[in-house]
Chains A and B, each alone.
Chain A
C-alpha cells in the first residue's frame, strides 16, 4: 500500500483464458457488447415476426409453402391461422420490449459507456454485472423455448408431461397468445383458454420473471456505480447527460421490475398452484365453466402490470434521449442548451412515469374521477418532454452542424420522438381514448415514440461509440443510406397507422377482409407492408456494416469525433481497466464546445483549468444559445 504506487499498482491485467475473457467476463465492456449482441439477435426474431404479421394482413389466406413446412399445425398448408397471428403479435411485442429495447440501451451501451464516462475502472459489482447478463440470457432462451413448446409437436409433448393444463404444448402457435400485456384472467387459466395458453404462457411468465431478476441486478449496479465510483472532480452536474439518462433509467427499473415480478409470481401461482388471485368465480370460457376458482380480480393484474408497464416505456426511451443530447451537442459543436433543465426534465419524466399507469386502463371501467387524475398527470409529462425537445432544437439553432451518421440518427430521434409523442396528448385524454383505444392509432403512437425513437437513439449510439468499442469506424456511406431509408421507411409505416386508427381499425386482428367498413383501406395496409419489408431489408445493410467495419473499417483514432468526455481520452478500444490504472481528474462540464479563446473548438473534461478557459466556465457547460459569447 505504498503511496508511490499510485499510478501503476492498480493496473488490472485482463484474464487470459477465452472463457473468462469473452464468455463469463467480469469486464463491463465485454458485458456491454454481450448485451448488444443479445439485442441484435432478439431484434432479428422480432422483425421477422413483424414481417410475417404484415404478410398475413396484406394477403390473408395465401399459401406460403415454407410456413406450412415449418409450422404444420399453426399454418396448415401454409396458411397462417388466426391464433398463429396472435402469437406472432405477442412474441413480437415481448421480444422487442424486453429483449431489445430494455437490453441494448441500458445493459448494452449503459454498461459499456457509463463507467468510462464517470472515470471508473469498472462497475461497482462486476460479478453481479456478469450475473445480470447471464440471467437475462437465460430469460431469452426460455422465451425462445416458448416458441417451440407451442409451435413444435415434439417439444410440446415434452412439456405436456409436466402438466395437462398449465404446461400443455404443441397447439400450433409460436408462443403464447395474449399480447405483451398478457391480461388475466385468460392468461391465468391454462389450456382451457385456447391455443397457446398452455406451456406458451407459462414459459412466457417464467421468462419475464427471470428477465426481471436480471434487470434488477443491473439496476442495482448502475445506481451504486454512479453514486459511488465517480472520479475526482466528476460532480453530478458535470456528468454527461447520457449518465443522467442511464441513472434515471436504472432508478425506474429498480422500482418497477419488482412489481412485474410480483405480478408474474401471482399469475404463475394461479396457473400452477390453483390459487385465485386474478381468476373470478363463475367464469365461462369457450362455453365451459371454470371450476375451483373464485374471488380473484382480473383488474389487479392490469394495475400491477401497468405500474411496471408505463415506467418500462421510459426505460426504453430515456437512454435514447441521453445519447441524443450527447450526440447533438457534439456534432453541433455547441454546448447542450440548458444542461440543468435537461437533467431535471429527464428526472421529472422518470418520476412522473410512476403515476400515470391508469391511462392504459381508461376502458377498464375505472372511476371517471381517477381517469381524470391519470389524464392530467399524463398530459403533464408533456411539459418536461417539451423542455427536452426545445433544448434539442436550441442546441441545433445556429450551429455549424456536422452531418455524420450518428448525428443524422440523433436528429431523426428528435423527429420521431416528437411525431410519436404528440399523439400521446391525444390518447391521454379520456374522451378521445374512448374512440382510439385498441386501434391502430395506439399502435402508431407507441411504435414511433418508444419503439422507433429508442431504436434511433441506439443507432445513433452505435455509430457514435462503435469506433471506441472496436477501434474502427463504421462506413459512413452505408450508414447514411441506412439512415435515409430507415427514416423514410418508419414514417411510411407508421403515419398510415394513424389513419387506420382513425378509421377504427382494431389492433391485434389477424384479418380485416370480413369487415365492410375496412374494405377501402386495404390499399393502405398493402402500402404499409411494402414499406415494412423495405425498412426491414435495409437493416441487413446495418448488420453488414456493423460486422464488416469491425474487421475492415477505417482505423479510428482515440477521439475521432472531437468530443469532450472521458471515454475519448483513452485508446480505442479501451484497455481492460479503462484508464490503465490512472485516476482521471475532471475539470470541466461535459459539453464545452466552441469556447471563445480556447485553442480548439472543444475542451476535454480532463484538460486542466487556467490556461485558456475564461473565468466562470468551470461549473457547468452553461446555457448559451450561441455558444459562449461574452
Chain B
C-alpha cells in the first residue's frame, strides 16, 4: 500500500471507515465482522472487488493446475511425446505481457494519485499491449499450422494449443475489463460511490492482469523449459 495518503484514499477511508490507507489493505477481510461501521453512510465497499478477483483467481489456478497435472502425467505416460520447437514469436508475446503488467501498475498508481490523464494513457497502453499479446499468440498458431502442426499432431502440440487457448480466453476477459475501465473514464463520476466503484474495479483489474502475466510465464516455462 502506498505510504502517501491521497485524496482518493481519504474518500475511500471515509466511506468504509478504515483507519488510514492500511484500513483497506490486504484482501478486504475484516475481523470485526466485515460490513459496516459506525458512521458509514452507504453499503458499497471496494473491497468486494478485491476479494472477488482473488477468489476468481483461485478457481482459475485450479483449472490450470488440473490441466498442468494432466500435462505432466501425459508427458510421462508414453513415448510419443515430441516437444515443439519454441516458436520465436512467443518471446515477443511474452515481452508484451510482461511490459503490459508494468504499464498496468503505472496506470493504477496514476489513478491512486488522482492523475486521470496518466491513468487513461497507461490504461490505453496496457490495452494495446494486451491486444498485441493476443495477436502474437494467434501468429504463433498460424506459424505452427503452416508447418503442419495441429492440435492432434502430437500430445505436446495438443497441450500447446490448449494452454494458449485457455489462457488467451482469460486474456480476452481481461481486455474486456480494460476496455470497460477505459470507457468509464469518459463518463464523469460525481458520486463518492461511483468513484469508489471505479477505483475498486481498476484495482481488481490490475490484480487480474498481473495474474494473467504470471500465469503465462508459468505456462511458457512449463511448455518449453520443463523437462
Contacts and interface: CB of A to CB of B under 8 A. Distances in A.
A224 B52 contact: yes
Given A224-B52, A231-B35, A258 B191 contact: no
A583 B67 contact: no
Interface in A259-317: 259, 261-263, 265-266, 269, 273-277, 280-281, 292, 294-297, 300, 303-304, 307
A238 interface: yes
Nearest to B62: A258
B28 A227 contact: yes
B152 interface: yes
A262 B152 contact: no
Interface in A9-43: 9-10
Nearest to B68: A262
A455 interface: no
A258 B63 contact: yes
Given A262-B66, A294-B78, A297-B74, A231 B48 contact: no
Contacts of A86: none
B221 interface: no
A150 interface: no
A232 B35 contact: yes
A224 B48 contact: yes
B45 interface: yes
Nearest to A121: B43
B158 to A, nearest CB: 4
A295 B155 contact: yes
Contact of B41 (A3, A238, A256, A586): A3
Contacts of B149: none
Interface string A445-468: 000000000000000000000000
Interface stretch (B53-61, B138-146, B180-188): B53-61
Interface in B156-208: 158, 162, 166, 191-193
A224 B152 CA distance: 40
A119 interface: yes
A3 B63 contact: no
A279 to B, nearest CB: 11
A227 B35 CA distance: 9
B59 A257 contact: yes
B58 A224 contact: no
Contacts of A273: 151-152, 158
A216 B66 contact: no
B55 A254 contact: yes
B148 interface: no
A365 B80 CA distance: 23
Contacts of A124: 48, 51-52
B55 A295 contact: no
A265 B152 contact: no
Interface in B6-58: 28-29, 31-37, 39, 41-43, 45, 47-48, 51-52, 55-56, 58
Contacts of A220: 52, 55-56, 59
Given A227-B51, A259-B63, A295-B78, A277 B34 contact: no
Contacts of A224: 48, 51-52, 55
A292 B158 CA distance: 14
Contacts of A402: none
Contacts of B39: 3
Nearest to B31: A235
A509 B45 CA distance: 56
A624 interface: no
Contacts of A234: 33-35
Contacts of A228: 28-29, 34-35, 45, 47-48, 51
B78 to A, nearest CB: 3
Contact of A255 (B41, B47, B58, B80): B58
B77 interface: yes
B152 A216 contact: no
Contacts of A303: 69, 73
Contacts of A276: 152, 155, 158
B41 A5 contact: yes
Contacts of B162: 265-266, 269
B43 A10 contact: yes
Interface string A223-259: 1100111111111101000000000000000111111
Nearest to B58: A254
A1 interface: yes
A230 B78 contact: no
Q: Which of A236, A256, A273, A295 has the most CB of B within 10 A?
A: A295
Given A276-B152, A300-B70, 6 more contacts: A227-B51, A230-B34, A254-B58, A262-B63, A269-B151, A274-B151
Interface of A: 1-3, 5-6, 9-10, 119-121, 124-125, 216, 219-220, 223-224, 227-236, 238, 254-259, 261-263, 265-266, 269, 273-277, 280-281, 292, 294-297, 300, 303-304, 307, 583, 586
Instruction: Report the 7 A-B pairs with minimum CB-CB distance, sorted nearest first.
Output: A274-B152, A295-B78, A262-B66, A258-B63, A258-B62, A230-B34, A259-B66
Interface of B: 28-29, 31-37, 39, 41-43, 45, 47-48, 51-52, 55-56, 58-60, 62-67, 69-70, 73-74, 77-81, 151-152, 155, 158, 162, 166, 191-193
